[in-house]
Structure 1
Amino acid sequence: MNPQGERWTSDHVLALAPDAPSGKAGSRLATPGSWPETGTRGSAVWGLCEGSGSRPYRTVVDTAGPAFKCSCPSRKFPCKHALGLLLMWAGEEGAVTEGEPPAWVEEWLAARRQREQRKVPGEAKGGAAQGGSPSVGPEAARRRAALRAQRISAGATELEQRLEDLLRSGLATADRAGYGTWDETAARMVDAQAPGLAARVRELGPIVASGADWPSRLLAECSLIHLLGQAFLGIDRLPPALASTVRTRVGLTTDAADVLAGPDTTTVRDRWLVLAQQDTEESMLTSRRIWLRGERTGRMALHLSFGGPDRALDLSLPRGLLLDADLAYYPGARPLRVVLGARHADPVPVTGPPPGGGTDAALTAYGDALRDDPWLDTWPVVLADVVPIPGQGGEPWQLADADGESALPVDPRCAGRSGLWRLAAISGGEPVTVFGECGHRGFVPLTVWDPEPVAL
């Protein structure tokens, strides 16, 4: 647990990675075999990691910052050892056990406390919690939250200046800088404790020189980053729901237990149809996305969980089941992600496809969601009576309404996947019902009914 009472997740940890290779390297180190000694006390997590040298690397993290220290020679911040340690700590409960901090950890924590007391006026001298870690009381938590908000604001202000410099020099010159400029800017956002901003900045690098229209795509992404930075800098003037969305987008997380118990939480009981379940593996980390739709309310929901070598995925719901349960929505202007609450009956299988709409209705649903959350990439929809049409001569696949009036292009990133030909084979040229995600790149099909649901 961190000082604010939130259980860190693997995606929270990986959002701190300075680049994708660091995240993968950290995932490989998230095993007890790499760490002959680990421990945690209060907000401190530490360990000794075996490396190529004769002496193990000393790694320590203060999750209240977060702040990192490692004796390895890496110039990346945080390094792969800090990421691996945090991934193991955030994984299975008890993977890193409570213990007494060694002297080198105590010295680093004491130096940090002294620096923080100089930065925050009125910080009480002493008052450390048991084991030498900083106080974790409500007042200390509020001060740390305020300090983190100040750091994110400073990072957003710096990012605004860098975007202005980019526009002043001209987008066409961006390809001369290479990936290093974006990685360095993303690292600065990690320093500012804004992993969401860091992740968006990292996505700018691959856009540069990636096609004939890359300057326009780069401008669009820079505009969204600018909008997010300005939104956080003016967050006190935003409606509460939109403010929650902005906090989530910059990387401020909400614990699942707080979602279930929060006074402003929206909890919905319904019979929820499992539309799709998709597991994605990235190195040693597995993410599971489960999409649901309320039978009575028609509301869409997404349950997201993460697992690793020492942490099992906490929920499995095969597509086609109907679940009578309470779902608590995370706060936001367009809520979608949920926490599973009380179950009122065992899941039962459902035959036949769910109700859906045409391609125009799908675009309208995405547009409505985008109006509330302009940073949305996709929105889940059910398409009814559509026919898959393979692309010809390099053109993308399409899902066309049976009446031939309109069609949705399939996301080009799906090209070459066997699922598209499976979809075409199930359809046989006849209309089918398809569930997937509709976004600005096109439609990503996930499930087709024939009449039972089939994964794509």
Structure 2
Amino acid sequence: MTQQGVRRTAEQVLDLAPDASSRKAGSKLGVAGPWSGAGSGREGAVWGLCKGSGSKPYQTVVDLSDPAGPAYKCSCPSRKFPCKHALGLLLLWAGDEGAVPESEAAPDWAEQWLAGRRGRAEDRKTRPAAAAADPEAARKRAERRDQRVTAGATELERRLADLLRDGLASAERAGYGLWEETAARMVDAQASGLASRVRELGAIPGSGTGWPARLLEECALLHLLDQGWLHREGLPDALAATVRTRLGLPTSADGPPVRDHWQVLAQYDTADAKLTTRRIWLHGADSGRTRLLLSFGAAGRAPELSLPVGLSLDADLSDYPGAGQIRAVLGERHASAVPATARPAGTTTTRALTSYGEALREDPWLDSVPVTLESVIPVPEDASGSWHLADAGSDTALPLTPSFLARPGLWRLVSLAGGAPLTVFGECGHRGFTPLSAWAEGAAAPVSLC
């Protein structure tokens, strides 16, 4: 499949799926049998008719011309985006160019949607900017929001003090309801970051050996975040910005645009009942910076931004404010994406841990940092099933996170290494190392492990 001049693989197409069931169903439709009238346009559109259970086939069209990511339209009743028919059509195109021939014109039903969508996009570009908001009204809204957050942080401090006074064992007896109620109060206070951390507290009691220590640790971090907000006037500007970000308060990227050739190192989704979050890691070939892009989609809908692993983008990135923050926003793209021809410089497992420790000085609530490990070998520690990434030729190693051990990516990593050293990119934190992509010996493009 072609997007930005680069042909996608079947695996990259399936990365667009909103969930595992859609991947499975879409894979079954990635063959010529159920399709008729399939075609593709030179401007980046693919269309086709897919036979379904009814008398009329489903009309499916995909627009690939938007740099932000593909857009989909299908006459099926599915509420997932992309649906299994869109995934199947893209898989058919990715696997066999002859099955989806190029055409000068799309059928009327596809052309009508494509023209309408592209027309609206042009309108947005030419529409005059809206009048600037009343600065005094904006200031008053910000003050009211800050007052609500302060009230929420003060209440949370009281609840943490009650927990420590009554003893940590009381948290296990109280159950999850206490934490859910507290989290709801933090949402009312417009502190979504506090609400998320409170909900995480509710899952710790009774979670296994050592849970009191883990609960105390998380309570301490939550107390530190509360105190950071309540005493924000005395903090350095960068740390105060980090506190606002951790509380979940709105912020925007204000750093100067940095133009570079940004290699896509990893892309993966996490989901809850309401939201799908896509994390995309980029590395600048010239600047040496590693930056994180976040994209969001409603439940059952994949986020719009999709950047296949292994591509290189000539583009601008602007950083978000805050001490030690590595999140950025994608700005102008200066050329079509091309396959990456180099990999980031790697480091050792010892240096990776040092990098995480240094990052904690700037952001004490940081779960992990992006790290590229060079010349490491995946090895099992013992019969219990624990795995490590060990430096070749030394006795130092990093444990792999338990969440990664439950994924198919572990065996993909082991087979890629074949007992030999390889380069691995991932996230290094207090839970261990989570591999996200890896390069075999001599390869320029990484293999996704997500």
TM over 0.5: yes
**Residue number in structure 1 paired with 2:353:** 363
Aligned equivalents of 2:157 and 2:391: distance in 1? 43
CA pair 310-139 structure 1, distance change in 2 beyond 3 A: farther
SS at the partner of 1:414? helix
Report deviation, 1:416. Answer: 2.5
**Residue number in structure 2 paired with 1:455:** 448
Q: Which deviates the most, 305-314 or 198-207?
A: 305-314
**Residue number in structure 2 paired with 1:100:** none
Report deviation, 1:323. Answer: 1.5
SS at the partner of 1:435? strand
Residue by residue over 1:242-300, the C-alpha shift from the partner in whole angstroms, topping out at 9 and shown as x without a partner, is 11111111110124xxx2xx4xx243222211111223454574322110111122111
Aligned equivalents of 2:303 and 2:171: distance in 1? 41
Aligned equivalents of 1:314 and 1:195: distance in 2? 23
SS at the partner of 2:203? helix
Report deviation, 1:399. Answer: 0.2
SS at the partner of 2:257? strand
**Residue number in structure 2 paired with 1:410:** 400
**Residue number in structure 1 paired with 2:336:** 346
Q: Which of 347, 353, 367 is the equivalent residue of 1:377?
A: 367
SS at the partner of 1:207? coil
Aligned equivalents of 2:273 and 2:172: distance in 1? 29
Q: Which of 269, 289, 300 is the equivalent residue of 2:279?
A: 289
Aligned equivalents of 1:188 and 1:214: distance in 2? 25
- TM-score, normalized by length of structure 1? 0.66
User: Any conservation in 2 of the 1:352–1:449 contact (CA below 8 Å)?
Assistant: no
Report deviation, 1:137. Answer: 2.6
Q: Which of 145, 149, 169 is the equivalent residue of 1:148?
A: 145
Residue by residue over 1:25-76, the C-alpha shift from the partner in whole angstroms, topping out at 9 and shown as x without a partner, is xxxxxxxxxxxxxxxxxxxxxxxxxxxxxxxxxxxxxxxxxxxxxxxxxxxx
SS at the partner of 1:156? helix
Q: Which deviates the most, 136-145 or 283-292?
A: 283-292
**Residue number in structure 1 paired with 2:422:** 432
User: Any conservation in 2 of the 1:414–1:444 contact (CA below 8 Å)?
Assistant: yes
CA pair 313-203 structure 1, distance change in 2 beyond 3 A: closer
Report deviation, 1:395. Answer: 4.8
- TM-score, normalized by length of structure 2? 0.67
**Residue number in structure 1 paired with 2:193:** 196
Q: Which of 224, 243, 255 is the equivalent residue of 1:227?
A: 224
SS at the partner of 1:324? strand
**Residue number in structure 1 paired with 2:158:** 161
User: Any conservation in 1 of the 2:273–2:299 contact (CA below 8 Å)?
Assistant: no
**Residue number in structure 2 paired with 1:50:** none
Residue by residue over 1:397-434, the C-alpha shift from the partner in whole angstroms, topping out at 9 and shown as x without a partner, is 10000012300000012222111011011101100000
**Residue number in structure 1 paired with 2:262:** 272
CA pair 145-280 structure 1, distance change in 2 beyond 3 A: same
**Residue number in structure 1 paired with 2:183:** 186
Q: Which deviates the most, 422-431 or 411-420?
A: 411-420
**Would you say 1:241 and 2:238 are equivalent positions?**
yes
- Give 1:54-69 correspondences, 5 Å limit: none
CA pair 281-149 structure 1, distance change in 2 beyond 3 A: closer
User: Any conservation in 2 of the 1:241–1:333 contact (CA below 8 Å)?
Assistant: yes
User: Any conservation in 2 of the 1:277–1:290 contact (CA below 8 Å)?
Assistant: yes
Aligned equivalents of 1:175 and 1:325: distance in 2? 50
SS at the partner of 1:204? helix
CA pair 140-352 structure 1, distance change in 2 beyond 3 A: closer
Aligned equivalents of 2:295 and 2:323: distance in 1? 22
Aligned equivalents of 1:416 and 1:244: distance in 2? 36
**Residue number in structure 1 paired with 2:412:** 422
Q: Name the count of aligned residue pairs.
A: 316
- Amino acid of the residue matched to residue 352 of structure 2? A
Aligned equivalents of 1:365 and 1:277: distance in 2? 22
CA pair 310-404 structure 1, distance change in 2 beyond 3 A: closer
Aligned equivalents of 2:427 and 2:219: distance in 1? 24
Q: Which of 311, 320, 327 is the equivalent residue of 2:310?
A: 320
Residue by residue over 1:93-120, the C-alpha shift from the partner in whole angstroms, topping out at 9 and shown as x without a partner, is x9xxxxxxxxxxxxxxxxxxxxxxxxxx
**Would you say 1:251 and 2:248 are equivalent positions?**
yes
CA pair 310-223 structure 1, distance change in 2 beyond 3 A: closer
SS at the partner of 1:368? helix
SS at the partner of 1:357? coil
Aligned equivalents of 1:410 and 1:310: distance in 2? 30
SS at the partner of 1:203? helix
User: Any conservation in 1 of the 2:276–2:301 contact (CA below 8 Å)?
Assistant: no
Superposed CA RMSD: 2.0
CA pair 310-422 structure 1, distance change in 2 beyond 3 A: closer
Structure 2: any 5+ residue segments left out of the alignment?
1-119, 121-132
- Amino acid of the residue matched to residue 455 of structure 1? S
- Give 1:55-134 correspondences, 5 Å limit: none
**Would you say 1:137 and 2:144 are equivalent positions?**
no
Aligned equivalents of 1:234 and 1:266: distance in 2? 29
SS at the partner of 1:366? helix
CA pair 140-306 structure 1, distance change in 2 beyond 3 A: same
Report deviation, 1:148. Answer: 1.1
Structure 1: any 5+ residue segments left out of the alignment?
1-93, 95-135
SS at the partner of 1:316? coil
Aligned equivalents of 2:184 and 2:267: distance in 1? 33
Q: Which of 399, 409, 412 is the equivalent residue of 2:389?
A: 399
CA pair 140-311 structure 1, distance change in 2 beyond 3 A: farther
- Amino acid of the residue matched to residue 192 of structure 1? A
User: Any conservation in 1 of the 2:276–2:302 contact (CA below 8 Å)?
Assistant: no
